[in-house]
Amino acid sequence: MKKLYLLFLSGLVFCTQGYAQQDPLYAQYINNPLVINPAYTGINNVLNASLSYRKQWSGFDEAPSTTAFTAHTSLVDNKIGGGVMLVRDQVGSTINTQFNATYAYKIDFGDKVVSFGLQTGVLNLKEDNNELNPRDTDDPVFAGEQTVTKFNFGAGIAIKGEDFYLGLSVPRLVNSQAEFEQLEAQVYQRHFYFAAGYVYHFGTGLSLKAATLLRGVSGSPLSVDYNVNLILQDRFYAGILSRNFQTYGLLAQVNINENFRFGYVFEIPTDKSVGSNFNSHELTLTIDFAVLDFHFLNERYF
């Protein structure tokens, strides 16, 4: 079963009319939008670092897993931002590794900021076929290890206030193709993102945070994420999420102090997806530090 599944996954990437590599999923995108929008770089006027791990469809053979690390800071009296991002996404025998440097130029309007972002980097796609058992052992598509590295760049814009966030981005603009033994495959196809979030305060130490993410890619239906969180004393978060009304889940976050935040997501797909037997888990640790004279820590929701 494992070899058949790996063969299926490999065929998705390395066939004459292959499907393009898809971006990883992030359930906690609104807490670290940098993974999908370079305009978030340095937007909070601190040094920020985030480490996340997502195991999708736990119990499903060779299911996707994603590890993402981001670090970014504001510079030059908080007028610009600079950062780095490293993502490792594995599906079966296919490993997609991305490294990007990010930059943002920010314009302040009182308690609001408009940020324009760019990113540039490389995408490395590695396919290890050693565990496969294809019918045709001489098929070059499934011969040994296939590796390709492509340059890419992306752009985005974000608007952030004390209680809201809007972002529009195309984090990787280049549709990448590669040849493997005279076979042409599409390595990556650009994705479009629109994210929005808002916090409503009840005035009793209780707030409501709602967010949505629209994700589009050519040839696939529009994907829509929804999530709603209740916030107690600006420290404890608990909420629910849905993706295309095919996956549902629970969210939890605790702000340990002004520097450290920890988040967890538990997802259950339905029979419209892969079935309710395969749950997904996502963990995120985020830190904020004021390391430069013009940095300042403050309560933030995005």
Per-residue pLDDT reduced to its tens digit, 32-51: 999 999 999 999 999 999 99
Choice between 21 and 74, residue whose per-residue pLDDT is larger: 74
CA 294 – CA 297 distance, rounded (Å): 10
User: Which of these ranges, 44-48, 70-74, 120-124, 174-178, has the smallest mean pLDDT?
Assistant: 174-178
In-domain check, residue 298: no
Q: So what's the pLDDT on residue 16? A: 32
In-domain check, residue 233: yes
Asked if the model's pLDDT at residue 226 lies above 80, the reply is yes
**CATH number of the domain that residue 187 is part of:** 2.40.160.40
Q: Which domain holds residue 228?
A: 2-289
* Residues of the chain above pLDDT 70, percent: 83
Choice between 295 and 188, residue whose per-residue pLDDT is larger: 295
**pTM attached to this predicted model:** 0.86
The region, left, alpha or beta by phi > 0 then psi within -120 to 50, assigned to residue 285 is beta
CA 210 – CA 164 distance, rounded (Å): 10
Mean pLDDT over residues 217-238, rounded?
93
Asked if the model's pLDDT at residue 18 lies above 50, the reply is no
CA 288 – CA 302 distance, rounded (Å): 12
User: Which of these ranges, 86-90, 203-207, 226-230, 269-273, has the smallest mean pLDDT?
Assistant: 269-273
Asked if the model's pLDDT at residue 13 lies above 80, the reply is no
Q: Contact 126/95 with Cβ under 8 angstroms? A: yes
* Residues of the chain above pLDDT 90, percent: 61
In-domain check, residue 296: no
Asked if the model's pLDDT at residue 130 lies above 70, the reply is no
In-domain check, residue 248: yes
Mean pLDDT over residues 177-202, rounded?
81
In-domain check, residue 300: no
The count of structural domains within the chain is 1
In-domain check, residue 299: no
Structural tokens at position 36 = 């999908």
Question: If residue 138 lies in a helix (H) or strand (E), which one and from where to where?
Answer: none
In-domain check, residue 294: no
243 CA to centre of own chain: 14
Choice between 99 and 15, residue whose per-residue pLDDT is larger: 99
Nearest Cα residue to 27 out of 270, 288, 277, 251:
251
CA 45 – CA 22 distance, rounded (Å): 32
Q: Contact 174/191 with Cβ under 8 angstroms? A: no
Mean pLDDT over residues 211-232, rounded?
93
CA 20 – CA 185 distance, rounded (Å): 8
Nearest Cα residue to 106 out of 164, 43, 48:
43
Structural tokens at position 50 = 């985030």
Phi then psi dihedrals of residue 4, to 5 deg: -65, -40
The region, left, alpha or beta by phi > 0 then psi within -120 to 50, assigned to residue 203 is left
Number of helices followed by number of strands (H, E) in the chain: 1, 16
In-domain check, residue 295: no
Strand partners, 90: 65, 95
Helix ranges (H only) for the chain are 2-13
